[in-house]
Amino acid sequence: MADAAPAKSEPSMSRSYLWGPLSAFGLVIAAVACLADQAVKFWLLVVMHLNSQAPVVLTPFAELVLTWNTGISYGLLPQNGPVGPWALLGVKVAAVAFLWIWLVRTHSRLTALALGLIIGGAVGNAVDRLHWPGVMDFVLLHLDTARLSLRWYVFNLADVAIVAGVVGLLYESLRQGGAAKAP
């Protein structure tokens, strides 16, 4: 009687749920986005001392200003008590976990790139919540004319990564003729 062929090693269930074909790529993108965000914030605070100076004019429509966002996007639902910031952090952790599951299951490099940007931006802002009074925002875009003054919300590099990631997901969903599949 011939020896039975060795059983194929099947990937463990935990591995399939926690790691996918593009997880490393998405993780590198997330790490770069988060580290770039934190490095810029560190530089603005420690080298430029943005916290102790008036707005820095970059162009006629852009300035560097320091604000601490204690709420969610655009300063909505500001949290000043001891529970609110932790609740927002918990929501962020849940969102990152959901995005990671989506990343593990994707086979599209564009989706992995977009999800990595969103995850990196979310983690960058979450790091701020852990050691600052809120999320550090510093870019102010504005348009001032004789009749009109428009000011966008102050934002940071993590916010740019999140928006770029969302744009990437929207582009992919339009390019494929259907929405990018979330888990």
Q: So which residues are the catalytic ones? A: 137, 159
Q: How many CB atoms lie within 10 A of CB 85?
A: 17
The burial class, CB within 10 Å (0-12 / 13-18 / 19+), for 141 is: middle
Residue in the structure block whose two tokens are 């269930």: 13
In Å, how far are 54, 57, 63, 137, 160 from 144, measured between CA atoms?
18, 13, 13, 21, 23
What residues form DSSP beta bridges with 59? 62
